[in-house]
Amino acid sequence: MYNLDHILYIIFSLMIIVIFSIIFKNVSARTRINIMRIIAMLTIITHVSTLFYNYFVNPNNTIFSEKSTIYPYYFCNLMMILLPITFCGPKVLRPLYPFVLWGAFFGGMITTAVPEFYNGGNLFTIGVFKSFLSHSFMILAFTYATVSGEYKIRLKDMWVFPLGLLFCGVIGVFNNFLWTEFALGEANSMYLNAPALEGTPFNGYVIALIMMVVVYSTAFVIETIRKKKSVSSYEQKELIA
């Protein structure tokens, strides 16, 4: 799985993501949200691009021939759909930031590191490269949002994350019912019926639990550091006064 192309892609893509996020960190709020909208749209465009490419290469195919690409079958598919909805939609959707951005981060990082769509062959074929690229845009969405301050990690906002995971579970159950009822292939949406990696315990439930631990632990640590800095700043001001 980990050949030189794959390792180099991971290294350089993460470097570009970090550099981009730092360069465009201190921009106006309007520019910041527009950048997020562009990233969100690029995520979904690269995700579905292979459907249209395959259609034009082979007119006998239809864009519906790859169900997991146009349908929220996997966690990543759903995040790719929710990113443009959340950032291009009305402000009332902003409470979804913690779920959508963290979900994009987890989906992007896990799939880039352990991609089902890549077996060590040519990384630069259209289907494989666009899949890597769309997941990199997901990582970029989270990284830029947090570095730029568009999204601030707060413990009090995390209530939406477990609800979002529950929503994914409901979609997974529904998808598995459809896939079984209409014989559409293996029914393992959201990895509810089998592990993401064969021979491991990492099914959808275990992955969701790990994500919950990471998200809440990270938020707790950041809140603690933020409070300590606030207290320290207040004490310094008192000394000066």
> Model pTM?
0.91
- Average the pLDDT over each of 58-62, 183-187, 197-201, 222-226 and give the range with the smallest value: 58-62
Give the dihedral sign, CA 29/35/38/40.
negative
The phi, psi pair for 105, rounded to 5°, reads: -60, -50
Residue ranges per structural domain of the chain = 4-240
Q: Average of pLDDT values for 57-74?
A: 66
Distance CA 236, CA 241 (A): 9
The predicted structure's pLDDT at residue 79: 96
Closest C-alpha among 24, 25, 80, 79 to residue 49: 80
The closest alpha carbon to 141, from 88, 99, 101, belongs to 101
Token pair 């006064």 is at which residue?
A: 241
Q: What does the pLDDT read at residue 119? A: 83
Residue 168 Rama label (left phi>0; alpha psi -120 to 50; beta): alpha
Statement: residue 197 has pLDDT above 90: no
Report how far residue 207's alpha carbon sits from residue 93's, in angstroms, rounded to the nearest whole number. Answer: 25
* CB-count burial class (<10 Å; 0-12, 13-18, 19+) for 93: middle
Query: CA 6 to CA 228: how far, in whole Å?
Result: 41
- Using one digit for the tens of pLDDT, what is the confidence trace for 123-158? 988 888 999 999 999 999 999 999 999 999 999 999
